[in-house]
Amino acid sequence: MLLFPTWKAGFLSTLLAISYAQIHSRPKGIQTLGSTVSRGESIPRPAGKWVSPEYRWFFEYPLPIPSTKSPKLTYTNDKTHAIIDYYEVEVKPVKQQIFPNLSPTELVAYDGVSPGPMFVMHKGREAVVRFSNNGPTNMSVHVHGQYNRAPFDGWAADYAYPGQYKDYYYPNAQNARTVWYHDHTEYATGEHTYRGQDGFYIITDSEEQSLGLPSGKYDVPLAISAKVYNLDGSLKFDTNNNSGLWGDIIHVNGQPWPYLNVEPRKYRFRLLDASVSRTYDLSFVEGLNGSAIPFNAIASDSGLFSQPVNTDNIAMSMGERYEIVFDFSGHAGKKIILKNSHGLGENVDYAATDMVMQFNVGSSVSDSSNNGDVPSSLRYIPPAPKSDVVKDFTFGRSDDGTWLINGVGFSDVEHRILTRPPRGDDEIWTLHNGNGGGTHPVHIHLVDFQVLSRTGGRNNVLPYESAGMKDVVWLAGGETVQVVARYAPWDGVYMFHCHNLVHEDHDMLAAFNVTQLAKWGYDNSTIFIDPMQPEFRPKNINAADYTQDAILKKLAWFYSSDAYHIGNLGAVSSALDAYSTSGVRAPTTSSNSRSLETSVLASSSSPGIVSSSSAISPTTTTSAASKSTIATTSTSSTWSHRGLTASTRTKRW
């Protein structure tokens, strides 16, 4: 048996000391923790390896809770009373004190806070968020976990330069879920996110609210990330020869190893792995020889499970979210540590990367509402659809060190659209971990999927992976994973990629094109399929666009575009259901999709600045009611812009 007496008597009192013996002796791989935690007289002081300056303030600073963003104004349509909430976020540099003994750390963050302000969206209320780039680098914003139309999905080449802004139009039409927003700029997503551009975006709905889950101050988002610092307190971005950036300083909501004072009752925690490359195996432990404390996992990336999953650990990779309900009621007056296990996957472990944060449990409960048992039934999730369409994607490293999907990267402009699912089709994608090994959290934009199988590696689907719908699946070394999704509700070009952001940026990012189904009655005048569609591109910041009048006009213009209208969405879903069960499948390629792709390729290989001649001219000349997405052959459109005239539309679609 190996022994690692790594904790020394330290300098602070009353906290816990952790013996690493059992942790370090475990074989590699994901396991339930049987950790050894001993109560000592002093703070645990890791004697292991540091890359950053040694951090010594464990559990001394409180967990920051992101503030909830408020809309600046709200648009209401006169006729339909539909609502669009309008928000403004500014990307800007900020200095944040991370090390108490070093200079503040320079970040570039949403509203100058990292993580950024938290959006709490109510299902059924659309939103437009204007992101203004007053930072030093390009910016593209992806709301990860929501089916945005392609021009608002943060396409990597659709970036705003410093001094530009972009309006992102969001549907908020899906079931309650923990979504997050982060930068997605081509070849720079990792560094931009690392330096501060991420935040929570939560969708709630009445079904979720009726469940009596812990809410308000008992519903806590926890974004976990890992970073490296230089001696002067600045961030160090070292990708280790593009293998990964694991980081030795663990942050929760931007604060290294924080504490949270809790009451002895139930809490809902929304866990997010916001790290560049670090995966986690999380568990809660208390006291000497404490074993992992069971809790209920209730949701993952795409919302609530059908029923809670009792577990004593959660293994998660980058981009994944898991929600849990943890009950502190049996731990009054105690300290509970949220731990991470060492020896996991491809991680490089450092002195204190096996600790995340601490909960100081008080002795009394100030509010006992929503503190009952987790309901045994949380929501209906349909069984995984059957499909005989199986597509293979291999995530591997080429000889020159580049990370690719089926040998293709995002810089391979002519080939990066790897597949063309017909709109509404159910497809099984088989994801293989290929050359070069590595851990690849695979994120597919647009869809919610179900994890069907995992062979090799861990060789099983974890109970909390199969209990709900997801948008990221962890493809660890040696593994093959199958996921099934319906490629809906929108057509258009979307990305899928590895969420190890170092891999993504070098160059494990590709695309798929959900193709239209003209023969099923879809209106071919529908726009939004080109993520580089000119009128939605970023614009130069100018005061005239920020007046209330200009904003309301813009919102009316968005509303008239009929991008998401709920009534139409219902019709789309019904038509897709009918299509999907009809057994008839449309061709997988068409001249239409090909010519669209030509446009995408051309626009994304250009510098991308929108000239003033193609600047947006808000119009509200067509009522929404006249623009049905379904069952019309109308080609009328109020949209006129460079490259999408009526004649080219006919040719392209």
Tallying the residues shown for the chain, one arrives at 653
List alpha helices for 290-398, DSSP H: none
Q: What is the dihedral of CA 371, 374, 380, 382, to 10 degrees?
A: 140
Of residues 197 and 402, the one with the C-beta less far from Cu ion:
402
Q: How many other CB atoms are there within 10 angstroms of residue 310's CB atom? A: 11
Smallest gap from Cβ 499 to Cu ion, in A, equals 7
Residues forming the site for Cu ion (CB under 5 A): 440, 498, 500, 503
Task: List the structure tokens of 468.
Answer: 């709900």
Q: Is the peptide bond before 93 cis (omega within 30 degrees of 0)?
A: no
Of residues 216 and 401, the one with the C-beta less far from Cu ion:
401
Pick from 393, 387, 420: nearest CA to 407: 393
Smallest gap from Cβ 142 to Cu ion, in A, equals 17
Q: Is the peptide bond before 53 cis (omega within 30 degrees of 0)?
A: no
Of residues 443 and 503, the one with the C-beta less far from Cu ion:
503
Smallest gap from Cβ 432 to Cu ion, in A, equals 12
Residue partners of 573: CB distance under 8 A and separation at least 6: 488, 489
Of residues 404 and 569, the one with the C-beta less far from Cu ion:
404
Smallest gap from Cβ 440 to Cu ion, in A, equals 3
Of residues 78 and 400, the one with the C-beta less far from Cu ion:
400
Residue partners of 150: CB distance under 8 A and separation at least 6: 490, 492, 493, 494, 528, 529, 530, 531, 533
Burial call 117-148: b when 16+ CB within 10 Å, e when fewer: bbbebbbebbbbbbbbbbbebbbbbbbbbbbb
Smallest gap from Cβ 395 to Cu ion, in A, equals 6
Of residues 69 and 443, the one with the C-beta less far from Cu ion:
443
73 forms bridges with which residues in the sheet?
86
**Whose structure tokens read 């934009």?**
445
> Beta 390-397 vs 426-433: how paired, if at all?
parallel
Of residues 257 and 429, the one with the C-beta less far from Cu ion:
429
User: CA 539 to CA 530: how far, in whole Å?
Assistant: 17
3-state secondary structure of 105: strand
User: CA 103 to CA 96: how far, in whole Å?
Assistant: 9
Q: How far is CA 453 from CA 448, 460, 461, in A?
A: 16, 7, 6
8 A C-beta contact, residue 558 and residue 615? no
Smallest gap from Cβ 276 to Cu ion, in A, equals 11
Pick from 363, 500, 519: nearest CA to 443: 500
Of residues 407 and 567, the one with the C-beta less far from Cu ion:
407
**Whose structure tokens read 């101050």?**
217
Of residues 507 and 523, the one with the C-beta less far from Cu ion:
507
Smallest gap from Cβ 442 to Cu ion, in A, equals 8
Burial call 506-538: b when 16+ CB within 10 Å, e when fewer: bbbbbbbbbbbbeebebbebbbbbbbbbbbbbb
Smallest gap from Cβ 153 to Cu ion, in A, equals 20
8 A C-beta contact, residue 59 and residue 24? no
Of residues 409 and 492, the one with the C-beta less far from Cu ion:
409
Smallest gap from Cβ 628 to Cu ion, in A, equals 42
Of residues 66 and 438, the one with the C-beta less far from Cu ion:
438
Of residues 296 and 500, the one with the C-beta less far from Cu ion:
500
Smallest gap from Cβ 403 to Cu ion, in A, equals 6
Smallest gap from Cβ 419 to Cu ion, in A, equals 19
Strand order in the sheet with 355-361: 259-262, 355-361, 335-340, 280-286, 314-316
Of residues 306 and 406, the one with the C-beta less far from Cu ion:
406
Smallest gap from Cβ 416 to Cu ion, in A, equals 16
8 A C-beta contact, residue 302 and residue 454? no
Smallest gap from Cβ 273 to Cu ion, in A, equals 14
